[in-house]
Structures are given as C-alpha cells and as structure tokens.
Amino acid sequence: MMALKSLATFSLFLPSLAAPAHSNLPLLNYTQSPESGDLIHSLSLPGFRFRRVKPLTSIPVERKVQNYIDLRRVPHDVRKPRRSAAALFGQIQRGSGGTGYENVTAINHYAAEYAVQASLNGRQMELVIDSGSADTWVVGSNFSCKGIFNETLSDDFCSLGPAFSGNFTGGPLPNLHFAIKYGDGEGVQGLMGQVDVEFAGVTVFDQEIAIASQGTWRGNNVTSGILGLAYPSLTNAYWGDDIYDTTPLLCVPYSPLFTSMVSDGLVEPYWAIALARNSSLGSADVIDRDSTSWRPSFYTIVPTAFKSGGTTTAGHYPFILDTATSLIYLPPDIAEMVNGKFDPPASYLWNYGAYFTSCDAIPPSFGVQIGKTTYWVNPKDLLNKEERDPETNLCQTGISSGGNGPYILGITFLTNVVAMMNIGSGNVELWSHQFY
C-alpha cells in the first residue's frame, strides 16, 4: 500500500472552445465572468476559455472508499494512442495554423493506457479508462476496420480486443447514431442504445452506450473500447441515420456512466484514481462545441508554480488532468527549462514531439505547486528508460512542450498522486504518496 502524504483541495475549471483569438494577444488573459464574478482564464491559441466550476450540490459528502476496481496497465508494446487530450488539442492547434504538439502520426510505443473491467448485459469487457472523454463504447461483432480513406482493412490492423457479442436492451435508439474522432483521424462510428452496465460493483440499468460498427483504430489486442469519465457536454450522440454526420446542431448530449451513477443516487458525486508505474497495480474508486462554454467538460486545474532544480516558475495556466495522456505538457519556456536541467540536457526531437536525452541521464527535481502544496514527481517517471528512439538510442523524458496550450498533467504526474474529482463540491483533491 502506498503511503499518502500531503493533501491539497482546489477548484475545478471548465474549458470551452471560444472564438479564435488574434495572435498578437498575450498567452493568458484574466477577465471576470459577467454573471458570477468568477475568474476566467483565456488562452490566445487555440481559443480556449476556462471558467471556475459550479458545485453540483451544497450537501457535504463523506470521503470514503465505496466501490473500487483494479486498473491494469496495457502491455508496453502498445502503439501510441491517438485519443488523448494531447492528441485532440494538437489537432486543434494545427487547424488554427499552429504546429500542435504530440506527434501522433508517428507509429511508436511511447504511451501508456490503463484498462478496467466492466460488465455490459452480463458480458465482461476490458475498456480503456479515460478521464478526458465522456462516452462509453464497445466494439460490436460486426465491426469493420477502416483505413484513413475509408477503405476496408483486416481486423488485425485495428487490433481491438474481443467484440461485444450482445445487443442493446430493446434495440438501438431510433434515429440516433454515435460518431467520435480522437486526434489525427482515429475514431469510430455506430449506433446508440441502452444496456445494463456494472462497473466497480455499481450497476446502472438502461445506460446509454454505443456499439461501434466501424472505425479507424490503433488498438492493443486487449481492450475493446473506451469508458469515459468526463461530463455530458463531451458526449458524441447525434440525430439522424448518417453515421458520419457530426454537425454540432445535431448533437444530443446524454448522461454518461458516472453522471448516471450520481444522478441515480448510486454513488457520492466524486471519483478517485490511483495509478502505479510499470505494474498492474492501481485502482479507480467510483465514489469544439459552444455548449461547453457553461457546462462541465474536462477536469481542469490551475497550478500556482513549477519547481525544478532550485528554480521556481510561476504557474497560473489551466491544466487538464488526463489519464489517457502519457506526458506532462508545459508552456514551452518551462518545458525547455526543465529539460535543460537534465544531466546531460534533453533535446527536442520534432519527429516525436518530445524531449530525449541519454538513458543514463540524471533527472532534475520537478514539482507542481498547487496552492501552497508541492507535488514532487519521482525521477523514475521523468526519464522513460524503456522508451528509446531506435535511431539515436536516446530515452524520452516525461516533460514536453504544450505549445500554446491547453496544458496537460498526464500519467507522468498522476502516477505520483491519488486524485479525487469531486463534482459535488466543484473541487479536486490530491494526495501525494511516497516515492516507490
């Protein structure tokens, strides 16, 4: 059992796509909400705004482990997932004329995913747990693997796990389809319907999910879909029979799994996650749309400072907590500063969109300050010795550049804390644990 140390509680922020700002604006602006007086953080590119979240309930909840489920790290040779928040925001940046970040077009294994078991109408399925998306979907028995030009490919190319052999309870929902796109082209399409979902000992009857009938994917031969933990504003159901039609006006937000658990009174309005490095250990406790402007979407916080090698740099940038992103993505100047403190210094390799250095390099100290509490990242997570560039034999660091933002605290950070997302109070609570 990992020993927990410092604790901090801080406000959740909600990101939303805003109209693209002019490039001559500063990176970060502070304004006041016209309705609530809450501070709004605006990034100049790619046009994101962050607004302090509103608590969903004023009733205090008792913090205790109610139901939990083991996480399993997907085998290390998995090809790089393209569905992380880093991939999504990199795509948006490139669409706004920027260079983006995280080169998701390169086929390599510099990534990590965590799988959980869920029961769909009594059938056990392995799904990737994702705090950066909201939909729960599973591959269907009639799934057709597609290439980037919609050509039909062998199932081995998509490498999804076992298909869901069951059906929706009562059949598909009429005149409704599911379509989602992650990052640079990876995505699935299919039908929406209802099934009974059991997750972490909690059963939600008639939960809306999607069964994918086709898609372009880069799987791991283990997991059969995604279990999203984000908010309803990020769901991807649409009116109509054209499974490719993702017109925003046709979007039909619905209650995703965790939201249903809370609204049905099955769990308290929070969940927590603990990730463990290079092992099957870990646990999860179930405890670009205008609509996201005033609705919760990603889990976002604002650190106050970053500390590395005796240097403290002011924070005040919004960061998304994402279990599907491997690295920590910092503002470029901070990322360059931290990577420059490796001995020998790390260099940025454009073909990977990441920093690399000698595999026997000595990492600097690195901590994320939130409020008055600093969460230190284990040096073992700052240098990925198993993840090497085959041409240079250099190893990837755990810190990279997030360009113009939004910025991300991925698995490199989350491996060092236990994080609780309390949508009831509108806060996140973090517990650091001793290095292991």
Q: What is the pLDDT of residues 357-407, one digit of tens each?
A: 999 999 999 999 988 889 999 999 999 887 788 889 999 999 998 887 778
Task: Quote the Cα angle for 385-2-415, to 5°.
Answer: 40
Has residue 22 got a pLDDT over 90?
A: no
pLDDT digits (tens, 9 = 90+) for 67-110: 666 666 665 333 444 456 666 666 556 555 555 555 433 333 34
Model pLDDT for residues 151-161, shown as the tens digit of each residue: 999 999 898 99
* Residue whose token pair is 């086709």: 214
| pLDDT for the residue 238 | 95
Mean pLDDT along residues 27-36: 41
The pLDDT of residue 60 is: 52
- Band of residue 290 on the pLDDT scale cut at 50, 70, 90: very low
Q: What is the C-alpha to C-alpha distance for residues 112 and 411, in angstroms, rounded to an integer?
A: 8
Q: Would the pLDDT of 334 be above 60?
A: yes
Residue found under tokens 């940046």? 93
Residue matched to tokens 């057709």: 144
For residue 221, the model assigns a pLDDT of: 85
Which contiguous run of DSSP H or E holds residue 285?
A: strand 282-285
Q: Give me the mean pLDDT over the 155-170 stretch.
A: 92
Can you give the pLDDT at residue 345? 97
> Token pair for residue 159?
């490498």
Residues 6+ apart with CB under 8 A from 173: 191, 192, 193, 194, 208
User: Of residues 172 and 83, which shows the higher confidence score?
Assistant: 172
Fold of the CATH domain 68-268+280-286:
Cathepsin D, subunit A; domain 1 (2.40.70)
pLDDT greater at residue 28 or residue 127: 127
195 HSE (CA, 13 A, CB side): 23
Partners of 294 in beta bridges: none
Quick check: 283 pLDDT over 70? no
Report the run of H or E that residue 407 belongs to, with start and end. Answer: strand 407-409
Most confident of 17-31, 290-304, 367-381: 367-381
User: Alpha-carbon distance 261 to 267, whole Å?
Assistant: 6
Q: What is the pLDDT of residue 17?
A: 43
Q: CA 70, CA 115: separation in Å to the nearest integer? A: 9
Question: pLDDT confidence of 128, banded at 50, 70, 90?
Answer: confident
pLDDT the model gives residue 208? 97
Is pTM beyond 0.95 here? no
CA distance 211 to 199: 17
Task: Kindly report, residue by residue over 253-276, the tens digit of the pLDDT.
Answer: 899 998 898 888 888 887 777 776
Q: Name the more confident of 11 and 376.
A: 376
pLDDT at 100: 58
The mean predicted confidence, pLDDT, of the chain is 76
- The secondary structure of residue 319, as a DSSP letter, is E
Q: Which of 40-44, 65-69, 411-415, 420-424 has the lowest mean pLDDT?
A: 40-44
- In this predicted structure, the answer to whether residue 205 has a pLDDT above a threshold of 90 is yes
